[in-house]
Amino acid sequence: MKEGKFSQTVIYRMIFAILLSGAVIAWNYRLLFKLYYVEQWSHVGMILNAGIILLFLSGIVQVMLLLFRYRFEEKNIATFMANIHQDKENLDEFVHPDSLIGVRYSMLRTMWEKSYQINHGSLASVLVAEQSTKASYPRYVHNTLILAGMLGTIISLAIALSGASDLLQSLTDTSGMGTVISGMSSALSTTMTAMFAYVFFG
């Protein structure tokens, strides 16, 4: 078993995806700049997109931290398994005491020395509950991203309808048309941002 193989592979894939996304953004810089900045007559679209991106980045940072943590855990499990195969007297030799396997082994050894009844099902349930709590924020971000895109679309369409109303009331004033274009552009950009973030995060 290679040390930290699974988590490390996922980390490499995420880094590759980030670099690939950066290259695509750089390649289409002019188009994206026009869509996200030039055609925005108001700051609403930029604020909505910035909020979606910040939510996305906070989730990515949390996922990366979890992956590095699990890479650390995988290394300690590999060390523990190697100690078992080598029939070492101290199975927790070179195993970090704060790792999951280190804490579990220490707990089981203490319970065995005190002749306590060991309920592996209960211990596993507690561990699953603890790890699920740590992974709750990334799941929240993933579920919220698409909703944030829908919210941005609704707000932007409301702005566009407001501009259409102004345009109909005064056909000589072009500000209403600008509001309509800005609202439609914001609706498109927020939807694109949220969909990209949702797919990437998933």
- How far apart, in whole angstroms, are the C-alpha atoms of residue 192 and residue 202? 15
- How far apart, in whole angstroms, are the C-alpha atoms of residue 128 and residue 149? 32
Spans of the chain, pLDDT less than 70: 1-4, 38-42, 157-185
Residue 151 parent element (H or E): helix 136-169
Please give the residue range of the domain that contains residue 49.
Answer: 5-201
Q: How many CB atoms lie within 10 A of CB 107?
A: 13
Overall domain count for the chain: 1
Token pair belonging to 167: 């345009």
Task: Judge contact between 56 and 197, C-beta under 8 A.
Answer: yes
Q: What pLDDT is stored for residue 1 in this prediction?
A: 44
Q: What pLDDT is stored for residue 159 in this prediction?
A: 67
Q: What is the pLDDT of residues 163-198, one digit of tens each?
A: 555 555 555 555 555 566 666 667 777 777 888 888
- How far apart, in whole angstroms, are the C-alpha atoms of residue 183 and residue 160? 4
Instruction: Bin 94: left if φ > 0, else alpha if -120 < ψ < 50, else beta.
Output: left
